[in-house]
Amino acid sequence: MKVGLIGLGIMGKPMAKNILKSGYDLCVNDLNKANVDEVVACGAKAASSEEIGRTCDVVLTMLPNGPQVKQVMLGENGVSNFMKAGTTYIDMSSISPLVAKEVAEVLAAKGIDMLDAPVSGGEPMAINGTLSFMVGGKQQIFDKYKALLSCMGASVVRCGDIGAGNTTKLANQVIVAINIAGLSEAMLLAKKAGVDPQLVFDAIKGGLAGSNVMNAKFPMINEHNYKPGFRIDLHIKDLANALDCGHSVGSPLPLTALMMEIFQTLRADGCGSDDHSGIAKYYEKIGGTQIGK
């Protein structure tokens, strides 16, 4: 099976390396030549969009958002112009489910199947090949490509038809943002009331309030380490997609809207490139107190 992958950023690069480790024949493309060179050094072949479209059985993308996905796949020299009927496109980027459905419709008219397959888990899980994939699309196409996705992920779950993968990812991003805010708010309360947040964490992490978010983000907040990880700018993109989707299906998102404004405040304050655990900085500012050490 010949595989093409476009988008070799923080996530795409280690994912490409895991595809190669599993023995697939891989062609790659990215605007950033250094990223392409690094993956070529591991055994991939650099290729144009046209070459990827013409020669690959399955084309993968790992791009920032919907506009880039539409440009790469459907633009003037878009990959889909060169793909044969019967081939498959799998988008692993986190985009709006509405855009995923739009792209799938254009591809279906050319006889090309599509899965939307965004991931959860950041760069370390991309490196270890332990990402969680949330997939939308036909069962038969999912079954055909589950093994390919499994070489990058520990969990690969089909959530429904096309768009369901990104809907699931939006739900994930809403939960994560609100969770980090809850954690920050609670730890500010503890600190201002005179209890060490580290001891609060130690006492409650095994109880009902404990979570993967708490385990991953509290140590960062406590150490004031906001190196990404997952950038606030990317989380803003996901919440914008969640709000668009929510408005279009009539699902109110009051807490997501509040989180969006907290993120916007942080971005205006120059923190857009910080890890999303930097939500704690917003609380430190309004509380006039440092949460961590």
Tell me the torsion sign for CA atoms 192, 197, 203, 204: positive
- Whole-number Å distance between alpha carbons of 135 and 292: 38
Count of residues engaged in binding ligand NAD, rule: CB under 6 A: 26
Closest to ligand NAD by CB, 122 or 287: 122
Residue in 43, 64, 182, 287 binding ligand NAD, rule: CB under 6 A: 64
Helix (H, G, I), strand (E, B) or coil at 49: helix
Comparing every residue's Cβ against ligand NAD, the nearest one is 9
What is the separation, in whole angstroms, between the first and last Cα of the chain?
52
- CB 222, CB 292: distance < 8 Å: yes
Q: Helices in 114-228 by DSSP H: which ranges?
A: 123-128, 139-150, 164-192, 197-204, 212-223
Binding mask 67-96 for ligand NAD (x = CB under 6 A): -x--xx--------------------xx--
Binding mask 179-218 for ligand NAD (x = CB under 6 A): ----------------------------------------
Contact call for residue 40 and ligand NAD (CB under 6 A)? no
- Whole-number Å distance between alpha carbons of 157 and 165: 9
Active site residue 169: yes
**Residues catalogued as catalytic:** 169
Footprint on this chain of ligand NAD (rule: CB under 6 A): 6-12, 29-32, 35, 62-65, 68, 71-72, 93-94, 119, 122-123, 230, 234
